[in-house]
């Protein structure tokens, strides 16, 4: 079954989802000097290090737009770029909870969420558009198109930064406290909007390391700086001062990386953006999707909580959602990589079948999320109480509600990225619109009497209403997907067993030591049950073993084969 768009033009997807292996020549061509995981020899490394002048962006025949190794390498860097900052956010959240108390943390969380929402709305449409159309231009060897898109993106996002920053100044002008925090949040948001352009350029060019490194380094600096500010009594305003400084550093550093990656122009850039209508249409539709995503997938319930509940209820919901997002963000490394490589392959005309590969991606995501969910359900409430303090003990039931549907979320992120790369956005938007109505309706009914628990129930109801139709629709577009239900059931049993043993160990020992021991018990128990129950489908185990042996060593391949179902 072919996948088509518009007048029957087929789209291909990245090799991680493709059933056909990537030719060795293409796999080698995608390895560039300086990329994480490249295999340059010593002489080539010396030459690359000594080459101080940037070269023009060359999109010749030997420049493969994507490859299996490129996608995996990109996924690892994207995983770091998302997972490490989430750990940093948790560290800052814990410090803020201790220094500010529930009321102060609730106020800080609301200001931060408002700023993040503004940035998401103003960048969530243009960013994917730049990734997709720069990727296609790269695949078509059209440097003039690539540079024209970048110039257009800077102009649009400059206007977005002015609008977003101005909008966030309004609460300060109308007397919302603390005034300084709102002003600094506006500055940080405006800089973050501008940052989306060079970041999208680097992702589209598959410069995964450059797209990730600035945020990783500035985040490492920001965590101790924020904790020091809080310890010195800087409060909420001091936190946003650090945030604004970090945003400025990210923008300057990433823009320099993007300029260096492009190099000097080798062609004249047309002042008129090619395919203007298609780019604007894609940006508009994706922006609508971002707004709906904020309602369904992000903690939009905070806006209702802010009107009808206390700042303490906001804090309880915020830290519970932060715990969920620490897990979810790990699964969101794939979509950006999917978008850029899929679009590049579409532009290059590489039309490989993807049915078996998409099924593999879905199966492995389920297999990975099931033990994570079971262990989080067993240990999450006690972990939250230990790190945040007894004042936040009421967040335990909120966290359990939010964690229940965790296995669905990573499959939706991949399905959405796939639909976005194929240009099939409208059905996704319709499903999200229905889920958003569910979220708002349930929130309006349950939040006034139940507070943060009602917010968690509303969020879970909306995720369930949105996730199942999206996964089903994507599977129908791809074709027949083999789910290997037997293996998934065995994985669920292994996960439940590991989670049950972890819970028993935690209750037997208790405290921080009990939490650490229980986590170790969960890991060992799941590994043993995975081998006994053979939870990995045979074909997927072979694929994992081949991929992992090149990146992680032969031990990983042996582990995959031990847990493989008998074929």
Residues 44-63 have pLDDT tens digits of: 333 333 333 333 333 333 34
pLDDT score at 140: 67
Per-residue buried b or exposed e for 148-167, using 16+ beta carbons within 10 Å of the residue's own CB: bbbebbeebbeebbeebbeb
The rounded Cα 59 to chain-centroid distance in angstroms is 28
Taking only the tens place, the pLDDT of each residue in 65-85 is 444 444 445 445 555 555 566
Per-residue buried b or exposed e for 93-129, using 16+ beta carbons within 10 Å of the residue's own CB: bbbbbbbbbbebbbbbbbbbbbbbbbbbbbbbbbbbb
pLDDT confidence of 182, banded at 50, 70, 90? very high
pLDDT score at 11: 35
* Residue 36 DSSP class: T
Average pLDDT (100-113) is 91
Query: Between residues 221 and 36, which one has the greater pLDDT?
Result: 221
CB-side exposure of 447: number of CA atoms within 13 Å?
26
pLDDT confidence of 354, banded at 50, 70, 90? low
pLDDT score at 426: 80
Most confident range, picked from 156-165, 282-291, 334-343: 156-165
Instruction: Centre a 10 Å sphere on the Cβ of residue 349 and count the other Cβ atoms it contains.
Output: 11
Across 186-195, 281-290, 468-477, 547-556, least confident range: 547-556
Residues 6+ away with beta carbon under 8 Å from 147: 57, 262, 265, 267, 269
pLDDT confidence of 131, banded at 50, 70, 90? confident
Average pLDDT (81-100) is 78
Mean pLDDT of the chain: 77
In the chain, % of residues over pLDDT 90: 29
Res. 213: pLDDT tops 80:
no
List the beta bridge partners of residue 61. none
Taking only the tens place, the pLDDT of each residue in 357-398 is 677 778 888 888 899 899 999 999 999 888 888 888 889 999
Res. 1: pLDDT tops 80:
no
Residue 10, classed as helix, strand or coil, is strand
Taking only the tens place, the pLDDT of each residue in 226-280 is 999 999 999 999 999 999 999 999 899 888 988 888 776 555 555 546 667 777 8
Taking only the tens place, the pLDDT of each residue in 275-322 is 677 778 888 877 887 888 888 877 788 889 988 988 999 999 988 888
* Cβ-based burial of 134 (10 A; exposed 0-12, middle 13-18, buried ≥19): buried
In the chain, % of residues over pLDDT 70: 75
Res. 31: pLDDT tops 70:
no
pLDDT score at 273: 60
Query: Between residues 5 and 186, which one has the greater pLDDT?
Result: 186
Res. 484: pLDDT tops 70:
yes
pLDDT score at 523: 93
pLDDT score at 521: 94
pLDDT score at 377: 93
Average pLDDT (162-176) is 90
> Helices 311-331 and 68-123: crossing angle, nearest 10°?
150
> Helices 301-308 and 426-450: crossing angle, nearest 10°?
20
pLDDT score at 375: 93
* Residue 9 DSSP class: E
pLDDT score at 275: 67
How many angstroms separate the CA atoms of 360 and 355, rounded?
A: 9
Query: Between residues 483 and 181, which one has the greater pLDDT?
Result: 181
Average pLDDT (403-431) is 79
How many angstroms separate the CA atoms of 193 and 322, rounded?
A: 22
Average pLDDT (107-112) is 91
Res. 90: pLDDT tops 60:
yes
Taking only the tens place, the pLDDT of each residue in 495-521 is 999 999 999 999 999 899 999 999 999
pTM of the model: 0.71
Average pLDDT (164-181) is 90
pLDDT score at 84: 66
Pair 498, 375: CB distance under 8 Å: yes
Across 36-45, 159-168, 349-358, 371-380, least confident range: 36-45
Taking only the tens place, the pLDDT of each residue in 509-567 is 989 999 999 999 999 999 999 999 999 888 888 888 877 676 677 888 888 888 888 76
Measured between alpha carbons, how far apart are the two ends of the chain, in Å? 26
């Amino acid at each position: 079954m072919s996948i088509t768009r518009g007048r029957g033009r087929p789209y291909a997807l990245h090799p991680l989802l493709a059933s056909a292996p990537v030719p060795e020549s293409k796999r080698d061509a995608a390895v560039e000097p300086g990329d994480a995981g490249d295999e340059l020899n010593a002489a080539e490394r010396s030459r690359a290090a000594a080459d101080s002048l940037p070269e023009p962006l060359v999109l010749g025949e030997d420049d493969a737009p994507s490859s299996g190794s490129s996608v995996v390498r990109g996924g690892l860097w994207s995983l770091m770029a998302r997972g490490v900052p989430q750990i940093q956010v948790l560290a800052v959240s814990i410090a803020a909870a201790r220094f500010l108390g529930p009321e102060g943390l609730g106020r800080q969380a609301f200001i931060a969420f408002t700023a993040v929402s503004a940035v998401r709305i103003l960048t969530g449409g243009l960013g994917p558009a730049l990734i997709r159309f720069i990727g296609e231009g790269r695949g078509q060897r059209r440097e003039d198109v690539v540079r024209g898109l970048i110039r257009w993106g800077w102009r649009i996002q400059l206007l977005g930064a002015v609008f977003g920053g101005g909008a966030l100044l309004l609460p300060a002008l109308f007397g919302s406290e603390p005034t300084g925090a709102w002003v600094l949040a506006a500055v940080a948001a405006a800089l973050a909007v501008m940052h989306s352009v060079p970041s999208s350029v680097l992702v589209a060019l598959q410069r995964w390391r450059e797209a990730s490194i600035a945020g990783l380094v500035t985040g490492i600096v920001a965590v101790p700086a924020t904790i020091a500010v809080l310890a010195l009594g800087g409060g909420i305003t001091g936190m946003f001062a650090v945030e604004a400084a970090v945003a400025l550093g990210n923008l300057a550093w990433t823009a320099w990386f993007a300029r260096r990656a492009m190099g000097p122009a080798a062609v004249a850039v047309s002042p008129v953006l090619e395919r203007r209508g298609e780019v604007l249409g894609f940006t508009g539709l994706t922006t609508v999707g971002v707004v709906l995503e904020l309602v369904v997938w992000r903690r939009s319930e905070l806006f209702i909580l802010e009107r009808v509940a206390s700042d303490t209820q906001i804090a309880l919901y915020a830290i519970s959602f932060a715990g969920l997002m620490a897990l979810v963000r790990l699964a969101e490394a794939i979509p950006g990589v999917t978008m850029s490589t899929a679009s590049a392959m579409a532009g290059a005309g590489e039309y490989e079948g993807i049915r078996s590969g998409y099924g593999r991606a879905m199966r492995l995501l389920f297999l990975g999320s099931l033990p994570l969910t079971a262990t989080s359900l067993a240990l999450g409430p006690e972990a939250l109480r230990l790190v945040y303090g007894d004042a936040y003990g009421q967040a335990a039931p909120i966290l359990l509600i939010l964690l229940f549907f965790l296995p669905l979320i990573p499959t939706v992120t991949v399905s959405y990225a796939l639909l976005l790369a194929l240009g099939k956005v409208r059905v996704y938007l319709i499903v999200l619109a229905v889920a958003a109505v569910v979220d708002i309706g349930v929130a309006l009914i349950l939040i006034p009497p139940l507070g943060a628990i009602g917010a968690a129930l509303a969020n879970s109801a909306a995720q369930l209403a949105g996730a199942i139709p999206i996964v089903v629709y994507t599977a129908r577009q791809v074709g027949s997907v083999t789910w290997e239900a037997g293996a998934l059931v065995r994985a669920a049993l292994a996960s439940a067993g590991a989670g049950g043993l972890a819970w028993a160990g935690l209750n037997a020992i208790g405290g921080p030591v009990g939490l650490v021991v229980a986590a170790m018990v969960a890991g060992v128990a799941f590994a043993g049950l995975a081998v006994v129950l053979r939870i990995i489908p045979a074909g997927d185990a072979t694929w994992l073993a081949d991929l992992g042996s090149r990146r992680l060593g032969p031990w990983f391949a042996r582990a995959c084969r031990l847990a493989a179902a008998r074929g």
